[in-house]
């Protein structure tokens, strides 16, 4: 019974953690004014998977270009655009440098996931500690216990 209760509470904590984490990501994306935020924000998918061994697995996915925005890297032009094409001259000058400002890393993901992962570990350890204490207290006898030294 305690094991079933533990699994149910773990599932609940994991689900709430995923919801809160995605909301934090979306808040960071809006705060940093990342372009195409609608597509990136709509790309979030989250899932809690309960394995047969009792281990809980969390799955969080989003659009790949969000990672590049976080790192501040990328070519700055669409797929398939080559030197000499119409789109190339619109984006880059004759030396191949971008006409607009250089890219900067917009840390919407890396800092937040590090913090949220640590927080999930704290929540799970607190949950296991609370359930352990309740299991021990239920196993103790109901009468007063005297210890003489």
Quick one: 147 exposed, middle or buried, by C-beta within 10 A (0-12, 13-18, 19+)?
exposed
Q: Name residue, tokens 């196993």.
A: 139
The DSSP element (H or E) to which 61 belongs, if any, is strand 56-61
Q: Are 32 and 108 spatial neighbours (Cβ–Cβ below 8 Å)? A: yes
What pLDDT sits at residue 126? 86
pLDDT tier for residue 127 given thresholds of 50, 70 and 90: confident
Cβ atoms of 21 and 29 within 8 Å: the answer is: no
Indicate the Cα dihedral angle 19, 24, 26, 31, nearest 10°. 160
Could you tell me the two tokens for 20?
Answer: 């809160």
pLDDT band at 21 (very low <50, low <70, confident <90, very high): very high
Q: What percent of the chain has pLDDT over 90?
A: 11
């Amino acid at each position: 019974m305690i094991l079933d209760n533990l699994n149910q509470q773990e599932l609940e904590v994991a689900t709430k953690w995923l919801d809160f984490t995605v909301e934090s990501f979306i808040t960071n994306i809006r705060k940093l004014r990342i372009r195409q935020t609608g597509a990136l924000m709509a790309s979030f998918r989250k899932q809690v998977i309960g394995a047969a061994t009792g281990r809980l697995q969390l799955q969080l996915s989003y659009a790949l270009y969000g990672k590049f925005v976080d790192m501040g890297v990328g070519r700055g032009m669409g797929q398939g655009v080559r030197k000499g094409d119409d789109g190339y001259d619109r984006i880059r000058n004759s030396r191949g440098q971008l006409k607009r400002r250089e890219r900067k890393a917009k840390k919407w993901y890396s800092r937040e996931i590090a913090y949220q992962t640590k927080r999930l570990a704290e929540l799970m350890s607190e949950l296991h500690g609370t359930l352990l204490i309740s299991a021990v207290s239920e196993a103790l006898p109901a009468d007063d216990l005297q210890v003489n030294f």
